[in-house]
Amino acid sequence: MDLFKNKYDFVRDELKDLPEFNELPKGKIKDFTSRIKYALSLGLKEKEIFFFGAMQWLSVVLAYLLWLQMLYWIPQPVWDWVGECLDGPGDGDGCTLAADIPLFLWGVLCIFLAAFPIGILSSAMGTTHFLHKNGEKSTVVKCLNSAFSNAFATWNFHFIDGYITVGQIIERIPSDDKNNYETAAQKAARRAASEALYYAWKLGIAGVLPSLVLGNGVIESGKNSIKFVKANFIEIAKLRAAYSLICWVIGILAYVGAIITLIFMGDEIYALSGGLAIAKIYLYMIVPIAVSVSVIMILLRPIYVLTICDMYSDYLSQNNEKANLPNNPKNGKKAVILFIVICAIVALIAGFREQIGLTNALSEIPDNSREIRYIEKDGIYIEYDPSINGYYKCINSDAGYEISEEMPYDEYIKKLKKYCSNKFSPKINSIPTT
- Residue 224: name the closest of 239, 213, 238, 240 by CA: 213
Q: What is the DSSP string of 212-275?
A: HHTT--HHHHHHHHHHHHHHTHHHHHHHHHHHHHHHHHHHHHHHHHHHHHHHHHGGGGB-TTSS
Contact 388, 431 (CB under 8 A): no
pLDDT of residue 335: 94
Q: What are the per-10-residue average pLDDT scores of the chain (434 residues)?
A: 55 62 60 69 82 95 95 89 70 69 92 96 94 88 94 94 88 61 66 78 90 92 90 87 88 93 91 87 94 93 91 92 89 93 95 90 70 56 58 62 56 76 59 38
pLDDT of residue 417: 78
pLDDT of residue 99: 82
Number of helices (H), then strands (E), belonging to the chain: the values are 20, 2
Which whole-number Å values give the CA distances from 117 to 14, 156, 168, in the listed order? Answer: 29, 12, 21
Q: Give dist(CA 327, CA 323) in Å, integer.
A: 13
pLDDT of residue 396: 66
Q: Give dist(CA 235, CA 243) in Å, integer.
A: 12
pLDDT of residue 215: 93
Contact 129, 42 (CB under 8 A): yes
- Global pTM? 0.78
pLDDT of residue 379: 61
Q: Give dist(CA 292, CA 163) in Å, integer.
A: 19
The length of the chain is 434
- Residue 160: name the closest of 219, 216, 215 by CA: 219
Q: Which residues of 170-204 are buried (b: 16+ CB within 10 A; e: fewer)?
A: eebeeeeeeeebeeeeeeeeeeeeeeebbbbbbbb
Q: Give dist(CA 62, CA 110) in Å, integer.
A: 9
pLDDT of residue 118: 96
